[in-house]
Chain A
Amino acid sequence: MMRATIEPITGRYMRLDHKGREHRIYFEEAGQGIPLVCLHTAGSDGRQFRGILNDPRVTRDFRVIAFDLPWHGKSSPPAGWQDGDYQLTSADYTDIILTVCRALELDRPVAMGCSIGGRIALHLAMEHAGEFRAIIGLQSSAHVHPYYDTTWLHHPDVNGGEVCAAIAAGLVGPNAPDAHRWETVWHYMQGGPGIFKGDLYFYKVDGDIRHRLSEIDTSRCPLYLLTGEYDYSCSPADTLETAACIPGATVSIMPGLGHFPMSEDPDGFIAHLLPVLSEIAHR
């Protein structure tokens, strides 16, 4: 009989106030040491960080925490959600991250976010540098021009899970291991109706930070930007253009990887992440 393997990840719920309403937030964590708060992509959840949460090379010195945004994964929408549409704004996104960090009493954590998480990482670097030890933006850019009609992501004539998956599937790098590629796509199939679309409001409209990049002071909080070569939502050119406006930002382009490096190819990604974490740990 095959023996079960219990992963070293603990999942718990917390209740907290956000925007004047009670929220039930799910988070997972593993490891000890410097807190590393991980922020998932639009329309997905914290399972994207399963490779990092399971990697002893990371968890030896870092307490890795991945929480599901409200409305995502195992975090519930607030009571009364049925009376409105979900739409993520820069202010709400910043607030929930800071609220979670304070609720867990994290001492100057490292924040690492991907895609929308990579965008909010820039906002955090600009507005809350003193509260973070370092910031890591994955697939990070200052703005993305809309290139398809997101109305189709929440439309009664189109299956939401299927279309969100089809959008996400193309953003995975071509050499990603099949199991991780389809796990990544599966997370998109499980998002609630309109949630991916609501996140993209932040990504493509409200979160535009192009004209404020020069306010980021990397001497207060180091900023690392890592981008997969095959991402066409946030391309390497987009990240390089962003970094060019932020003195002191460190950029790494990851060959072969796509828009979901930590989920589509955890081993390939962690090879790029470890030197960054080592540098942060030795600062």
Chain B
Amino acid sequence: MPRPDVLSLPELVNANERLVHRGRFLTAVMRLDIGADAYLISIDRGRIAEVRKGPFVMPSWTFGLSCRADALDQFWKPLPPPGFHDLFALLRRGELTLSGNLQPFMANLLYIKDVMASLRSPKETA
């Protein structure tokens, strides 16, 4: 299964009114490291304003998520296996590392979990 394109986040998130509403108090730059690939995701009051793919020179960001690529591949499966279905499941396994200022991350935890899960392929219907 191909890895979802992080650059599609603005389209996926901004089309979801409830998700944007949930994140309406968050304006921040989230750094996402997937293996060797780095992304800077600019969030403006819950909308994804911009996603840039690295490499970067002296990037500034608010908080960061870093995870092995194959662990996120499991997370993004339509039905993720046990231990891979939530960001905190990855944290518990030691696959996910958090960095930076974690206050906005924890204050918007459900929003950020759902932003990351929005890249998940829809479940196939029988």
Contacts and interface: CB of A to CB of B under 8 A. Distances in A.
A81 interface: no
B103 interface: yes
Contacts of A175: 79
A236 B83 CA distance: 10
B110 A169 contact: yes
Contact of A147 (B91, B102, B107): B91
Nearest to B94: A147
Interface stretch (A44-52, A99-107, A123-131, A155-163): A155-163
A152 B102 contact: yes
Contact of B113 (A147, A148, A166, A235): A166
B82 A235 contact: yes
Interface string B80-115: 101101111101110000000011001101100100
A260 interface: no
Contact of A170 (B88, B93, B102, B103): B88
Contacts of A205: none
A177 interface: no
Tier of interface size on chain B: 10 to 19
Contact of B103 (A147, A157, A232): A157
Interface string A141-167: 000000111001001011100110111
Given A147-B92, A170-B88, A232 B83 contact: yes
B105 to A, nearest CB: 9
B contacts with A: majority SS:
helix
A170 B113 contact: yes
Among the interface residues B79, B88, B113, which one has the most CB atoms of the partner chain A within 10 A?
A: B88
Nearest to A167: B88
Interface residues of A, number: 25
Given A229-B82, A230-B82, A170 B89 contact: yes
Contacts of A33: none
Given A163-B106, A166-B110, A170-B113, A235 B87 contact: no
A148 B85 contact: no
B81 to A, nearest CB: 9
A11 interface: no
Contact of B109 (A149, A166, A232, A233): A166
Given A174-B79, A174-B80, A230 B85 contact: yes
Contacts of A147: 88, 91-92
B86 A171 contact: yes
A229 B85 CA distance: 12
Nearest to B107: A158
B1 to A, nearest CB: 17
Interface string B42-69: 0000000000000000000000000000
B75 to A, nearest CB: 11
B16 to A, nearest CB: 16
Contacts of A236: 82
Contact of B88 (A148, A155, A159, A235): A148
A172 to B, nearest CB: 9
Contacts of B113: 166, 169-170
B64 to A, nearest CB: 16
Contacts of B106: 152, 155, 158, 163
17 contacts: A149-B102, A152-B106, A157-B103, A157-B107, A158-B103, A158-B106, A158-B107, A165-B110, A169-B110, A170-B86, A170-B113, A171-B86, A229-B82, A230-B82, A230-B85, A232-B83, A236-B82
Given A163-B106, A163-B109, 6 more contacts: A149-B102, A152-B106, A155-B106, A170-B87, A170-B88, A171-B88
